[in-house]
């Protein structure tokens, strides 16, 4: 069935395979009147582009985006925004026996079990290249959110055993770090760790964190369409994510109530605020006005240069090595993907929240 759609009123549909003609997304439901141009989107895409340094795949792609519809005289019109990125490096190549083998840690086997066959070239639809559609759409969502001063920023907080030091985080360093870490010292150690992994023909996992600020209280719908539930879906839908945490996440299971509750205090201006933010900005599934905090744990890149025991379509095990060069970590390029999914979720919930009170609606549609 159709699984490539995300969102209820700010809705996107992505398409495209790794070695097909291109990757794209249609963004439908973006309100009219948002200033938007290709550079706004290109900036996001450049953050996930391959070939930026030796820790990302050598595939050469400029990933240039074309806006095909939905923007007129520099502003969104309220109609679908179609975004297209042509694949360049899609030359015919020797895929060896990959069409006959199920690689460990890859979606090869489940795809064949589901569909009967698959586009095996570079992972087809299950390729990380699929995230281009998410990032392009996330750029549009980000542009919309900034109209409300809402900011969303993701970064890598851990690679293997190396974690950033919260007291030393410096976001101005992000664009310099080859591994998207906002901490120069941790970044250097992570790079050293990666070199070691690569020498061992291995890959490693990591953690992406994302913070959204200035989100108004009241976003999220009770019960199933909770903001945290949709963030969890959004982020878990990114390939290789195996855990999603909100606020203090897994740590809450060891807390006592008296530690975990965010009590209210009066700040210097006399305004009330939460003394702590263990909740990560969401209570009962609805934003509480504090910064929203999401964390995603990524597994190591499954493609490694070591020989592995793979399952064949013939039902037998085969010791084989996956050819080609692959990213030794996923997180560095995935940070912007998590940021995009967070922005898309917030944009959708912002629009939905416009409908929660009759007195608000009367302001928009004053009775004749």
> 117-146: which residues touch a second copy (CB under 8 A)?
117-119, 124-126, 130, 144
Residues 165-194 that bind a second copy (CB under 8 A): none
Residues 296-315 that bind a second copy (CB under 8 A): 297-304, 306, 308-311, 315
In the bound state with a second copy, the residue whose beta carbon lies nearer, of 81 and 98, is 81
Give the count of residues interacting with a second copy (CB under 8 A).
175
Residues 75-114 that bind a second copy (CB under 8 A): 75-82, 84, 102, 104-107, 109-111, 113-114
DSSP state of 231: H
Options 54, 93, 149, 168; binder of a second copy; rule CB under 8 A = 149
Residues with Cβ within 8 Å of residue 180, at least 6 apart in sequence: 155, 156, 174, 331, 332, 333, 335
In the bound state with a second copy, the residue whose beta carbon lies nearer, of 36 and 336, is 36
The two three-digit tokens of residue 166, written as one number:
């919260």
Indicate whether 323 belongs to the interface with a second copy (CB under 8 A).
no
Q: How far apart are CA 227 and CA 350, in angstroms?
A: 10
The two three-digit tokens of residue 92, written as one number:
């015919």
C-alpha count within 13 angstroms, C-beta hemisphere, residue 312: 10
Helix (H, G, I), strand (E, B) or coil at 352: helix
Residues 214-273 that bind a second copy (CB under 8 A): 214, 216-226, 228-237, 239, 241-266, 271-272
Indicate whether 5 belongs to the interface with a second copy (CB under 8 A).
yes
Indicate whether 317 belongs to the interface with a second copy (CB under 8 A).
yes
The two three-digit tokens of residue 363, written as one number:
């302001």
Indicate whether 14 belongs to the interface with a second copy (CB under 8 A).
yes
Residues with Cβ within 8 Å of residue 224, at least 6 apart in sequence: none
DSSP state of 198: H
CB of 276 to a second copy, least distance (A): 9
> What track of x and - describes contact with a second copy for positions 33 through 52 (by CB under 8 A)?
xx------------------
Q: Are strands 151-159 and 11-16 parallel, antiparallel or unpaired?
A: unpaired
Q: How far apart are CA 326 and CA 58, in angstroms?
A: 8
Tokens 């917030």 found at:
346
Region from 88-96, 147-155, 169-177, 181-189 binding a second copy, contact rule CB under 8 A: 147-155
């Amino acid at each position: 069935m159709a699984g490539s759609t995300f969102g209820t009123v700010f809705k996107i549909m992505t398409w495209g395979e790794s070695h097909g003609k291109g990757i794209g997304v249609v963004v439908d439901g973006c309100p009219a009147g948002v200033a938007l141009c290709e550079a706004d989107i290109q900036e996001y895409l450049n953050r996930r582009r391959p070939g930026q340094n030796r820790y990302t795949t050598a595939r050469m792609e400029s990933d240039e985006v074309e806006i095909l519809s939905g923007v007129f005289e520099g502003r969104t019109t309220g109609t679908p925004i179609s975004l297209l990125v042509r694949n360049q490096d899609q030359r015919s190549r020797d895929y060896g026996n990959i069409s006959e083998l199920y690689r460990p840690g890859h979606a090869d086997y489940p795809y064949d079990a589901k569909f009967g066959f698959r586009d095996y070239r570079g992972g087809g639809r299950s390729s990380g290249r699929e995230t281009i559609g998410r990032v392009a759409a996330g750029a549009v969502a980000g542009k919309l959110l900034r109209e409300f001063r809402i900011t969303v920023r993701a970064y890598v907080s851990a690679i293997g055993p190396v974690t950033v030091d919260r007291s030393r985080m410096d976001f101005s360093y992000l664009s310099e770090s080859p591994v998207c870490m906002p901490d120069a010292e941790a970044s250097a150690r992570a790079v050293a760790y990666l070199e070691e992994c690569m020498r061992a023909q291995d890959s490693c996992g990591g953690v992406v964190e994302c913070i959204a600020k200035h989100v108004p209280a009241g976003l999220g719908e009770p019960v199933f369409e909770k903001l945290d539930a949709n963030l969890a879906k959004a982020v878990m839908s990114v390939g290789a994510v195996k855990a999603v945490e909100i606020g203090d996440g897994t740590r809450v299971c060891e807390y006592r109530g008296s530690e975990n509750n965010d009590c209210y205090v009066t700040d210097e201006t006399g305004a009330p605020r939460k003394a702590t933010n263990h909740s990560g900005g969401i209570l009962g599934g609805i934003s509480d006005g504090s910064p929203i905090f999401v964390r995603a744990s990524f597994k190591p890149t499954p493609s490694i240069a070591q020989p592995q025991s793979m399952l064949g379509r013939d039902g037998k095990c085969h010791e084989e090595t996956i050819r080609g060069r692959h990213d030794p970590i996923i997180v560095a390029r995935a940070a912007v993907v998590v940021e995009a999914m967070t922005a898309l979720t917030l944009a959708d919930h912002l629009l939905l929240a416009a409908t929660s009170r009759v007195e608000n609606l009367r302001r928009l549609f004053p009775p004749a």
